[in-house]
Amino acid sequence: MGSQTSTYDFVERFKRGDTEAFSLVFRKYQRRLSVLVHYKMSAELRGAMEVEDVLQEVFLAAARDMHQFTYQSPGSLMAWLSRIADHVIVDAARYQNRDKRRAEELLRFRSESNPTGPEPVDSETPSRLFAREETAKNVLKKLDALPAEYREMIVLAKFEGLSTKEISERMGKSRESVALLLHRALKRFRELEATTGSS
């Protein structure tokens, strides 16, 4: 499939001003990043805003700052996006706390102060990636059911895309025990699959 070169190509194409290339990068990483963001966000923050919106901001920031990004290795774009996500989440949490936004007072559209007004067309909250997609919802459900340590293994390996060496550095464990943990995590995940899959 040659995806090594394609990521590099996308980055280069994008830097040359090809906006379509960015859409492709976006689509490529969107899903992994959304799971990652989901677990990076605190439960409180998750209640206050959509993963999708954080994601949106991550890609906006990435789009603007792409010229600062240098492609080093195949995984480096994902690592870079992950770092941006950290910043966005911290920023969003700060903003959310500082400014608990008052319920919008729509004047023309329906609101508390104007209960007879019409409902705006897009009053539906921003789309929920996970809610719409059955498989994604299932994956999240099962990840949530795992012990925290197992879940973290899968998130780091599968969604953040770290190598076992990087995971072992981050977790302060030997590479071997990381591999074992991952193995058990996946096995447990598989077992959950068997139980939930039937229902």
Partner 1 sequence: MSGRDPRNGPENRAEKASQKERAIAEALAEYVDRLSREEAVDIEAFCKATPELEKELRPLLESLTEMDGPPSSFPYEPAQEEGEELPDNLSGHKILGEIGAGGMGRVLLGFDERLGRKVAIKTLNRRYRDNESVRTRFMQEARALAQLSHPNIVRIFSLGQPGETPHFVMELVEGSSLVEAGRALTLGQKAELLQKVALAVDFLHAHQILHRDLKPTNILVGPDLEPKILDFGLAQHLESDGRRMTRPGEIMGTPDYFSPEHTVPGSRFDPRSDVFSLGAVLYEVLTGSPPFHAESFAEQVRQIREEAPILPRRRNPEVPGELQDICLKALEKKPENRYASAREMADDLERFLAGEKVHAAPTTYSSLMSGKVEQHLRELEGWREDQVVSEFEYDALRKDYGRLIERDDAWILNARRLSLPQVSLYLGAWIVTVGAALLFLFRFIDLSGTLAVVAVSGVAGLMAYHGVRLWKSGQLRIGIAYLLAFCLLLPIAFLVAFGEYHIFAKPAANLDWELLGRISKTFKQTTNAQIWWAVFISLPAYVWLRRFTRSSVFSLVLAVMTAWLCIVTLLRMGLLEWLDTDPGKFYFRLIFVALLFFVSAFAIERARLPNDSRYFYPFAVVFTFVALSGLAAVHQPYQEWLERTFPWTRGQIEYLFIINAAIYLVLQAVCERFSSAQMRAVAKAFRFAVPGHVLTSLLFLGLEATQRWYRHRDDLLMKREARTFEILVPVMACAFVYGSIRKQMKNYFVVGMIFLAIGLVRLQQDIFKQQSRWPIELLILGALLMVSATRYAAIKMAVARLVRRRV
State which of positions 82-141 bind partner 1 (CB under 8 A). 88, 92, 95-96, 101, 104-109, 113, 118-122, 124, 126-127, 129, 132-133, 135-136, 139
Of 116, 148, 198, 199, the one binding partner 1 (CB under 8 A) is 148
Closest Cα to residue 50, out of 133, 151, 163, 130?
130
- Comparing CB distances to partner 1, the nearer of 99 and 199 is 99
Rounded to whole angstroms, the Cα distance separating 87 from 95 reads 12
CA nearest to 47, candidates 93, 88, 104, 87: 93
- Kindly tell me the number of DSSP H helices and DSSP E strands found in the chain: 10, 0
* Measured distance CA(109)–CA(73) in Å, rounded: 50
Which of 91/199 has CB closer to partner 1?
A: 91
Which of residues 42, 72, 97, 177 is near partner 1 by CB under 8 A? 177
Whether the CB-CB separation of 159 and 38 falls below 8 Å is answered with: no
Contact flag: residue 181 with partner 1 (CB under 8 A): yes
The token pair that represents 59 in the structure block: 């890609």
Nearer to partner 1, 102 or 199 (CB): 102
**Helices (H), ranges, 133-174:** 134-145, 148-154, 164-171
Q: Is 187 an interacting residue with respect to partner 1 (CB under 8 A)?
A: yes
Minimum CB distance to partner 1 smaller for 12 or for 144: 144
Tell me the site size for partner 1, rule CB under 8 A: 95
Q: Which is nearer to partner 1, 86 or 164 (CB)?
A: 164
Under the criterion CB under 8 A, does residue 12 sit at the interface with partner 1?
Answer: no
- Interaction of residue 158 with partner 1, rule CB under 8 A: yes
Residue 142 near residue 194 (C-beta atoms within 8 A):
no
Site for partner 1 in 20-79 (CB under 8 A): 20, 22-24, 26-28, 30-31, 35, 48-50, 52-54, 56-57, 59-65, 73-75, 78
